[in-house]
Amino acid sequence: MKGVGVADSFIEGELDEMSQIRIAATLSRRVLRSLNELSFLSRDLLNRQPQMDLVILAAGVAETPCSLLEYQSPRSMTLALSRNRSRDA
């Protein structure tokens, strides 16, 4: 998130929220479709450029519009959420 431009305080809050995890299946086909699309994109990029740095790969994938996010990119949605939480704090 730091590479996206998110404030340290937001990152710390997200890390706190993720300290306890739960793994479960999803029934949402939209979630599965989005994850599959991002996975396919990542595999394709790595097949074409096997030496690609994974940070660069992650940055590229973060710019990919997702139907689950109303065709926003994960990067733009993360920035919007961090701005909204900063205003609420």
Which bin fits 56, alpha (ψ -120 to 50), beta or left (φ > 0)? alpha
pLDDT digits (tens, 9 = 90+) for 9-51: 888 988 998 888 888 888 999 989 989 999 999 999 999 999 9
SS3 content of the chain, % helix, strand, coil (to 5): 65, 0, 30
Look at the pTM and tell me if it is higher than 0.75.
Answer: no
Domain enclosing residue 52, as ranges: 2-88
Number of domains in the chain: 1
Q: Does 89 have pLDDT greater than 80?
A: no
Neighbours of 34 (CB within 10 A): 17
Q: What is the pLDDT of residue 52?
A: 94
Share the mean pLDDT of the chain: 89
Q: What is the token pair recorded at 37?
A: 């699309």
What is the rounded distance in angstroms from the CA atom of residue 64 to the CA atom of residue 73? 5
